[in-house]
Structure 1
Amino acid sequence: MPLTSHSTPPERDGALSGEAWFAGVRARGVVESIDVLATPERLRAPGFWAVVGDFDGPVRAWRFADVDRSSPAAADTGTEAWDGPPAGAWTSSMSRREYRDAVEQTRAAIKQGRVYQANICRVLSAPLAGRDGAEPDARALSAVLARGNPAPYAGGVHVPHGAGQRPVWVVTASPELFLRVDGGAVASAPIKGTAEHPDALQAKDRAENVMITDLVRNDLQRVCEPGTVEVVDLLAVEAHPGLVHLVSTVQGALRPEVAASPRLWAHLLGAAYPPASVSGAPKSSALQVIAELERARRGPYCGVVGWVDVAEDGAARAELAVGIRTFWWSPDGARGGELRFGTGAGITWGSDPQAEWDETELKARRLVALASSPR
């Protein structure tokens, strides 16, 4: 059985810090944080865990003491109104010209046979400090996004620096499922193909989606029973605020020895991480192209944000989203901190450099506007 609502925190010296919120769940009080790939067996310990993984770094999890399952968490307000950076303060890790050049270089890599597709991204950043020595209110930003850009996998995790646990500040409005695990079943729903309306989706978008769906199918076959991996929905059109996506759904039955393994998450992440839709095909070669062309580390953008819920009997449920439409904050950078947001596009041989730049603008426009303060 899952954790009950309002579980009682263990006694500690001082207050437990940190919180996480996802649809219908609000968790408080971090009791431990782990590196999932280094100690995957810890993620089989009973409790509610929030998970944040960097695309180009570690995957970490935080276990919480107090879990409220009656909370409309995504709609909660923060302790104060969100006060974001000025709208004109954002800068990009790639200019328009640099991004178009990266698209052309990716097409050259496709012509050479190195890859079939690669996702090329840029990172937007703006200076942002907290108030009165506190970090910016992550829940306040989450509430702004919930009102202006509702998303199926919205949520956030905030453990302040100096709280005694590894810090994290991530707010997501992700529309994309990376992995859903429920007992012995696993599913993934990659997004590939973006336009302002359904009629603007092109053959290139459909071909790209099929290519990545096949990669996800291959990833899941590494941990699933032979013959159980199937595409249950191909090229579905999903409407989100300001745009539409093509989404396909792949599911399978985990091999019993994988589902029961203390190293379940090492097996799953080893097979499927980083997500196929934000890397490319073949994945290993696409990651090399990404490392060559991108000018900023992605951090949790294109990584993973979500939760794992482990019952006392060891039964596990999880819902991990691809970390797109995601903001993250750190105390480094100008004027006491930096807020970041990533945006990108999948590049194929049929890509037009200007159209791919426009797609990155479309994906960022609404979210960045919501996170900015008019000044």
Structure 2
Amino acid sequence: MRYQQLPYASDTALLAAISHLQWPALLAGSHKGTSAGRYSIACGQPTRKLEITRPEQKDLLQDLRLADTNTFPPAPVELPFTYGWLGYFSYDAARLLEQLPEIAKDDLSLPWVRLGFYEWSLVSDHQTQTTWLSGFFTDQLAEELQTRLQGGPEIQQGFKLTSDFVSNMKETEYRAKFARVQEYLHAGDCYQINLAQRFSATFEGSVLDAWQQLNSAIPAPFSAFLDYGDQQLLSLSPERFLKCSAAGDVETQPIKGTRPRGRNQKEDLALAENLLKSTKDRAENLMIVDLLRNDLGKVCHAGSIRVPDLFTLESYNYVHHLVSRITGQLKPPYQPLDLLTAAFPGGSITGAPKLRAMEIIEELEPCRRSAYCGSIGYIDFSGRMDFNIAIRTFIATEGNLHLWGGGGLVADSSPEDEYAETLHKVARLLRVLQPDFASGFS
């Protein structure tokens, strides 16, 4: 186990340093006023791969259990990740944990779980302007990475769309599904159900170039770029799913409640105030807080679960969000894997009760969600874990680019408002790649 300081590197430089390696991965964050965007983590060339595509492979998740590794020297500075497992759990990985119907079309064929075991990582601390290489690495690798970091960006240019983004639901279809959701809500099947539509376009050129454009235009605290060769994930998520420290401190930060940013300061403040005072949005948020408190209670010490932040406003460059924070203390002998499976997938993107909401989602959404609403992140050898909720996340596969927008529906939801919210959530992202997007959507 080694640590070596290298020249400070931006996200672009980190990607340039690892993009030639197999399964290059970047977890990046940027959001002023929070600690979430402090670090970027880059790694490549995993020595092991975990890919799960069917329920019979569930036992492979046990590979993510941690051994006793307290004999390694402490890091010279605080680092979120040194070496370990990094990748994603798709929304469909819930089929490893629950019995769900098979109705929606599974047309993207991504593995349910895809993680690499990375023996080293590059971590840039944007607060201290330092970059560290840590883990198990040779002098030759350190020299190669340093050369690439200092050599400047080598990102291939030339991404372009070859068609417009098109939804898998017309507005009339969304309204019909909304009406069906209302029937379930009024019948008492659920208190809240998330409903999403998918936007798809064809493209050619470098997906990495598309990521650079998106990451530059729309900074987010839990962003990620994962390249598996045949498929790429481009996430600009504002939402943390689960974080666990080496000492077992647990945190989750669900988002429920969204408004667009205003065209001027007065309108912007009015929209933010409207969100903060919205009885409906606060009720939705509280439902998910209660759901997550219950999920954490499965693996945390009794009495340790707290809600230090309830209904907090977080503002990004294109939306306002209503965010809460729930904390707890992991109870031995439970590990980060137990925490992840106890709460997966996040309640903020399913509804409540979770299992029944997922059954209804499978019935009403025409296509499986794949990586959307799953989680991207890592489990470090030390017991640290951090995963996002993979919203605002593109999937690139077979020359197609897909992005979803959804929202939680409750009994007093308005179909006009909810449909508009799904557009607010994706329009800014899609316009980075297709500037004229939304001319017939609103």
Q: Same fold (TM over 0.5)?
A: yes
Change (3 A) 1:244 1:352: same
* Residue equivalent to 1:32: 48
1:239 to 315, 338, 341: 315
* Residue equivalent to 2:255: 191
After superposition, the C-alpha distances for 1:45-93 in whole angstroms (9 at most, x for unaligned) are 68232221111232321122442123879xx96612351315x611111
How many residue pairs get aligned? The number is 338
Change (3 A) 1:84 1:180: farther
Structure 1: give runs of 5+ residues left out of the alignment.
7-14, 131-135, 162-167, 332-336
Contact between 1:50 and 1:157, CA under 8 Å: does it hold in 2?
no
Contact between 1:4 and 1:69, CA under 8 Å: does it hold in 2?
no
> What is the SS of the residue equivalent to 2:341?
helix
* Residue equivalent to 1:60: 114
The separation in 2 between residues aligned to 1:120 and 1:39, in whole angstroms, is 31
Letter aligned with residue 233 of structure 2: V
After superposition, the C-alpha distances for 1:192-221 in whole angstroms (9 at most, x for unaligned) are 000123133221111100111110111100
The separation in 1 between residues aligned to 2:427 and 2:43, in whole angstroms, is 30
Residue 295 (structure 1) aligned with residue 371 (structure 2) = no
Letter aligned with residue 321 of structure 1: N
* Residue equivalent to 1:221: 297
Q: How does 1:9-158 map to 2 (within 5 A)?
A: 16-23=21-28, 24-35=40-51, 37-43=58-64, 44=66, 47-57=83-93, 58-70=112-124, 79-81=155-157, 83-85=159-161, 89-130=164-205, 136-138=206-208, 140-158=209-227
> What is the SS of the residue equivalent to 1:38?
helix
The separation in 1 between residues aligned to 2:282 and 2:3, in whole angstroms, is 41
Letter aligned with residue 50 of structure 2: I
The separation in 1 between residues aligned to 2:27 and 2:405, in whole angstroms, is 22
The separation in 2 between residues aligned to 1:255 and 1:345, in whole angstroms, is 33
Contact between 2:194 and 2:349, CA under 8 Å: does it hold in 1?
yes
* Residue equivalent to 1:200: 274
The separation in 2 between residues aligned to 1:82 and 1:344, in whole angstroms, is 30
Letter aligned with residue 64 of structure 1: Y
Q: Which has the higher contact order (CA 8 A, sep 6+)?
A: 1
> What is the SS of the residue equivalent to 2:156?
coil
Q: How far apart are residue 119 of structure 1 and its match?
A: 0.4
> What is the SS of the residue equivalent to 2:292?
helix
Q: How does 1:248-267 map to 2 (within 5 A)?
A: 248-259=324-335, 264-265=336-337, 267=338
Q: Which has the larger radius of gyration?
A: 2
The separation in 2 between residues aligned to 1:34 and 1:79, in whole angstroms, is 28
Residue 276 (structure 1) aligned with residue 347 (structure 2) = yes
The separation in 2 between residues aligned to 1:228 and 1:100, in whole angstroms, is 42
Q: How far apart are residue 30 of structure 1 and its match?
A: 2.4
1:328 to 395, 400, 417: 395
Change (3 A) 1:345 1:82: farther
Q: How far apart are residue 145 of structure 1 and its match?
A: 2.0
Change (3 A) 1:191 1:82: farther
The separation in 2 between residues aligned to 1:204 and 1:149, in whole angstroms, is 28
Q: What is the TM-score of this pair, normalised by structure 1?
A: 0.84
Residue 343 (structure 1) aligned with residue 374 (structure 2) = no
The separation in 2 between residues aligned to 1:40 and 1:339, in whole angstroms, is 29
The separation in 2 between residues aligned to 1:48 and 1:40, in whole angstroms, is 14
Contact between 1:25 and 1:71, CA under 8 Å: does it hold in 2?
no
The separation in 1 between residues aligned to 2:357 and 2:153, in whole angstroms, is 40
The separation in 2 between residues aligned to 1:216 and 1:145, in whole angstroms, is 31
The separation in 2 between residues aligned to 1:279 and 1:319, in whole angstroms, is 20
Change (3 A) 1:176 1:4: farther
After superposition, the C-alpha distances for 1:158-181 in whole angstroms (9 at most, x for unaligned) are 1213xxxxxx41011100000001
Q: How far apart are residue 228 of structure 1 and its match?
A: 0.3
Q: What is the TM-score of this pair, normalised by structure 2?
A: 0.72
Letter aligned with residue 200 of structure 1: N
> What is the SS of the residue equivalent to 1:69?
strand
Identical pairs, percent = 32
After superposition, the C-alpha distances for 1:205-241 in whole angstroms (9 at most, x for unaligned) are 1110011111011110011010001111000000011
Contact between 2:159 and 2:204, CA under 8 Å: does it hold in 1?
no
The separation in 2 between residues aligned to 1:285 and 1:324, in whole angstroms, is 21
Q: How far apart are residue 289 of structure 1 and its match?
A: 0.9
The separation in 1 between residues aligned to 2:257 and 2:365, in whole angstroms, is 21
> What is the SS of the residue equivalent to 2:92?
coil
